[in-house]
Structure 1
Amino acid sequence: MPPRIPRQQAEEPAVGTRPDNDAGVSAELAAVVSGARRRSVRDGDRQIDTAHLLHSLLEHDPEVRAVFDDGAEIARLLGYLVQRSIGYGLRWQGSVEDSGAVPVVREAEGYSPLAAEAMECAAARAARRDGGAALGLDLLAAIVADPQARAVEVLDRAGIDRHEVLARVEDRLVRPGWTGR
């Protein structure tokens, strides 16, 4: 019987060619991107989208998990994300995540247009804040900023308001004594 999870062959190109240690991205966020990349390959998706990024953030970043009120919110979010990864519930496979706000010019190095924009926005947020590398909280804020993002659809279905998530992120980032680690 063939394995249920497709394996990426060594000679296959990775979903994205962007190195995980890009300037402007923390080591923790690079691990999140690697997780999202593996998830997109495993799911058979052509690109890393904002839902892949959200799923990986929830799995890898305790600061992101702390944004959500309780275990029930995280459980609902992960429930929708897992349904999507096993082929039930949210059906996006084979389509490109795009809000239509800007023309799609390229497949941004393995990212959907919205995910690529979120990565750029996360780096810009970090640069404005302290000039440091982007953190998971920066990426969370960036991926829920566009109401057309798949991550926002997951939040909506889980009954979580994206504006509330953004407010919680901002509160955590400006909290006195917070170091980002």
Structure 2
Amino acid sequence: MQFRTSGIPEQAAPNHASWAGDGLSAAMAMVVTGARRRAVRDGDRHVDTAHLLHSLVESDPEVREAFEGGPQLARVLGYLVQRSIGYGLRWQGTQEDSGAFPAVREPAGEGWSPSAAAAMDRAARDALLRGERHADGLGLLAELVADSRCRAVEVLERAGVDVERLRARAQDRAAAGGPQG
């Protein structure tokens, strides 16, 4: 599927040197594709952290396990779904840049908000530091919630999620290699 008319370039994700040499894992490529699709559907020019969060929650069972049960997850999904029908419309036409982390300013980052590109970059670096070839959903979730001023965190807070607790759970599970009790 081509997305050129949306203003979002065709590449799947920013191709930063810190990302694993051969790109994204199949699971993360699916997350990125879902986030791009949401951005197009929402009429946004850039994939932002809320698009990534939505795609992560829908596609990654380990990410869903990091939440405190079904009711909390349902509230998060409710806010994410409402994005295109009211909540989040004030974001339309603006580029997300919380300023919390250095923005990635490369041509390959076109079509990505600085906050989303920085979260993807940090997740990839963390995975490499752990000796893993690719970032995973839990690692990306932990990096999304590390930026307290990004759109994903705004959605989570509005849904009543204790963001610090979620970040700790995601980091612990990512370090342990998946779901833990």
- TM category (shorter chain) comes to 0.7 to 0.9
Which one of the candidate residues 5, 13, 18 is aligned to 2:11? Answer: 18
Residue 18 of structure 2: aligned partner: none
Q: Distance in 2 between matches of 1:78 and 1:152?
A: 13
State the partner residue of 1:4.
Answer: none
Asked if 1:132 is matched to 2:133, the reply is yes
User: Could you tell which deviates more after superposition, 93-102 or 9-18?
Assistant: 9-18
Alpha carbons 2:104, 2:118 under 8 Å: kept: no
- Give the CA deviation at 1:89: 1.9
Q: 1:45 to 1:147 in 2, by over 3 A?
A: same
Quick one: percent identity of the two aligned structures? 54
- Alignment partners' CA distance in 1, 2:94 and 2:166: 26
Larger % of helix: which? 2
Report the Cα distance in structure 2 between the residues aligned to 1:146 and 1:134, rounded to whole angstroms: 17
CA distance 1:145–1:103, shift in 2 (3 Å): closer
Checking the alignment, whether the CA contact within 8 Å between 2:96 and 2:115 is kept in structure 1 is yes
Structure 1 counterpart SS, 2:98? coil
Instruction: Give a deviation string over 1:3-56, Cα, whole Å, max 9, x none.
Output: xxxxx8676366134335963521101100000001100110010000000000
Q: Which amino acid aligns with 1:123?
A: A
Distance, in Å, in 1 between the alignment partners of 2:83 and 2:31 is: 18
Q: CA deviation at 1:120?
A: 0.4
Does 2:147 align with 1:150?
Answer: no
Q: Supply the AA of the counterpart residue of 1:44.
A: G
**Corresponding letter in the other structure for 1:129:** R
| Alpha-carbon distance in 2 for matches of 1:38, 1:70 | 27
1:128-152, CA deviations, whole angstroms, 9 ceiling, x for partnerless residues? 1123211111111111111110000
Structure 2 counterparts to residues 91-130 of structure 1, below 5 A:
91-101=90-100, 102=102, 105=105, 108-130=109-131
| 1:89 alignment partner in structure 2 | 87
Q: Distance in 2 between matches of 1:21 and 1:10?
A: 16
Q: Which runs of 5 or more residues in structure 2 are unaligned?
A: 16-21
> SS of the counterpart of 1:79?
helix
Partner SS for 1:100:
coil
> Contact 2:103/2:117 (CA < 8 Å) preserved in 1?
no
Match of 2:56 in 1: 57
Computing the radius of gyration over CA atoms, which structure comes out larger, 1 or 2? Answer: 1
Output the CA distance in 2 between the equivalents of 1:28 and 1:10: 21
Tell me the matched-pair count: 170
46-55 or 125-134: bigger deviation: 125-134
Task: Quote the RMSD (CA, aligned, Å).
Answer: 2.5
Paired residue for 2:175? 174
Asked if residue 161 in structure 1 is aligned to residue 162 in structure 2, the reply is: yes
Instruction: Report the AA paired with residue 173 of structure 1.
Output: A
Task: Give deviations 1:84-138, integer Å, cap 9, x for gaps.
Answer: 122x123311111111344785672210000010110110011011232111111
